[in-house]
Amino acid sequence: MLNTDDLPAIYAAFRTRWKNRDNRMLIMQDVVKGTVLSTIPDDTDLQSTSPNLIQVALEDTAESAAIMPSFRVIPPTQDGASKKIAEKMEKILLGYMDRAGGELFLVRSFLELAAYGFFAPAAFMDTEVGNPRLDLRPAVGCYPEPDWKPGMAVRKCLFARSIFFSQLPPEYQAMAKPWAASRDSAIVNNQRHVILIEYFDEDEQVIALLSTSAYGSALNMRAEGLPMILERFQHDYKMCQVTVGQRPTLDGEPRGQFDQVVAPMEAHSRLMAMAIDYADQSVYSDIWVKEPMGEIPFGGGGIIQLGPNGAIGRVPPAVSSLSLFQELDQLMNTIHLGGRWPKSRPGEIDQAIASAKFLETSVGVMNTALRTYHFIMKYALERILLVMLKMDKEHGSPTSVARGVLRNQEFVEEYDPSVDIDLSYKVRIEYGLGLGRDPSQSAVLHIQYAQAGMISKEFVQESIEGVSDVERERRRIDVEKLTDMMFGKLMQGVQQGTVSDSALVEIAAARQQGDQMFDIFKKYIVDPQTKAQATGITSGIDGSLQQPGGPPAADVPGLTPPPPPSMVQGMASMSIPTGGRGNFIGTRTGG
């Protein structure tokens, strides 16, 4: 159990361990704000006139990596009952993710991962719904235990934020007023900064306030005096409610993807500002005056009076180096290369026509970065979701409801955490074909695999963003195909004359009024066929509908009349005996 009097010392010790990381985070914060700028020689502040490529690259990388993975629960056995429990637990996990914000949670997580080199999801019990809630805690002010290394489970973690006293919830303000009154008089009118501390370990969660005499970020503020405990929650999870996902580095220090290109970005901003200043001087160069008489007027129509030795002229603009634009382009290339952010992402392609192989090669570097980010997210989510399942099983409401989308199928599932959650089941996060790819690349790969027969079309539909009910979409597709077939048969009937012109006019009017194709097809095709079958004559041989009078003999097998004889056969038959008195055909005589 934490000794609360030791909290200021713990805060100081954790900050000492992560001092270099905090300095890098402060620089990155200034980069995003646009305040990391050089100064020109006369110490005048330089105003940035170039795009903030680091911020653009951060947002693009985070949004490209934010693909919703698949949530799988692996049962210890493969019997029917175990599979049902695993399926329900998958829905429970998706319910956690839905309450956390889904894709927006992933975008925020990858944004901090790319900017600072790590992110910290945490689990809390939501008293309103009676179930755990997944939340992304700010990376700024996050301090894991001093001996923590990437890949290890977090055992202790402290979050520190600098806020105004008035920003505290009303119940916390009421609790802290006696403590605030005992501090120095700087906490007046609720305008004094305090340090809000959230401490997590394997046995408890503590929320406290620390007093400080400084202003600014919690990264550079020093705690003073004893803390004020606002809330203390002891549990028996034997697991910390926080996990940390960090980019791999050689020395184990968290570094953002763009830390090494801050200096080139700063140099690019300075050169770009100077180039624009030169262009301004070349158009509006300064005027110099020697021995003016009286005040110097400005503007059109102004007259300047000069003394006997007076003179007037313009200051020639500075001469720009011919290599300036080459240097700007080189700095731009350095930012793209060092940040592993291809020039093709914002559309900067030098070739007029880029081949598919060129584009594949240009985005390959970014794909490797996205692949690493997906692995880090997989590790972090598997750990924190296991903690949430344990929290839910032990303290969750027995009448819980999970909502979300499972394999692009919306669901609302009621469950009892104590019955429907089995902690012996393994939680797995899978990216499948989306591993290391942005959404557009993943979609193309899914389609190619489906066309090659390696995966089913239903699997592709389950991976399409925006499809909330796969079975409903499959029904719609089937109905569209059948409707097209019915329309084709109607057109065939018009061409063959079985559907009259007057019926065609009625069909067009019915469609214009909103009648369904099913009803039209039934009225003009199915019903006439049914009526003909009821009143017509069917063949006893093959059951087909026949016209009155019976089928022609030519259509009845075995009753086909012989063809008429040819002329040769007719002449030859004249010499055939007919019997009787030796007469021949064609030689009959009277008598």
Mind listing the pLDDT tens digit for each residue in 320-371? 666 777 888 888 888 888 887 887 776 665 554 455 555 555 556 677 888 8
Q: How many CA atoms lie within 13 A of 273 on its CB side?
A: 16
Q: Verify that 492 and 408 share a domain, yes or no.
A: no
Q: Verify that 164 and 239 share a domain, yes or no.
A: yes
- pLDDT-derived band of residue 590, with 50, 70 and 90 as boundaries? very low
Residue 515 has pLDDT above 70, yes or no: yes
> Which tops the pLDDT comparison, 119 or 318?
119
pTM passes above 0.85: no
| Sheet order of strands, 157-164 included | 142-144, 157-164, 193-200, 204-211, 224-234
Q: Verify that 84 and 180 share a domain, yes or no.
A: yes
Backbone angles phi, psi at 383, to 5 degrees: -70, -45
Whole-number pLDDT of residue 215? 61
Q: Verify that 414 and 507 share a domain, yes or no.
A: no
Residue 104 has pLDDT above 60, yes or no: yes
Q: Verify that 20 and 73 share a domain, yes or no.
A: yes
Structural domain range at position 497: 472-538
Total structural domains in the chain? 2
Please check whether residue 438 lies inside any domain of the structure: no
Q: Verify that 494 and 417 share a domain, yes or no.
A: no
Q: Among candidates 382, 404, 513, 376, which has minimal Cα distance to 468?
A: 404
Q: Verify that 139 and 222 share a domain, yes or no.
A: yes
Please check whether residue 202 lies inside any domain of the structure: yes
Is residue 342 within 8 Å of residue 336, measured between CB atoms? yes
**Boundary of a domain, candidates 379, 397, 430:** 430
Q: How distant is the alpha carbon of residue 349 from its chain centre?
A: 25
**Boundary of a domain, candidates 538, 556, 579:** 538
Please check whether residue 42 lies inside any domain of the structure: no
Q: Verify that 378 and 495 share a domain, yes or no.
A: no
Please check whether residue 282 lies inside any domain of the structure: no
Q: Verify that 71 and 161 share a domain, yes or no.
A: yes
Q: Verify that 377 and 481 share a domain, yes or no.
A: no
Please check whether residue 294 lies inside any domain of the structure: no
Kindly state the average pLDDT of the residues 473-501: 85
Please check whether residue 317 lies inside any domain of the structure: no
Q: Verify that 162 and 26 share a domain, yes or no.
A: yes
Kindly state the average pLDDT of the residues 559-579: 57
Q: Verify that 523 and 399 share a domain, yes or no.
A: no
Please check whether residue 509 lies inside any domain of the structure: yes
Q: What distance in Å separates the CA atoms of residue 413 and residue 94, rounded to the nearest whole number?
A: 11
Dump pLDDT digits (tens) for 161-216.
Answer: 888 888 888 899 888 888 877 665 444 445 677 889 999 999 999 999 988 766 65
**Boundary of a domain, candidates 519, 538, 557:** 538
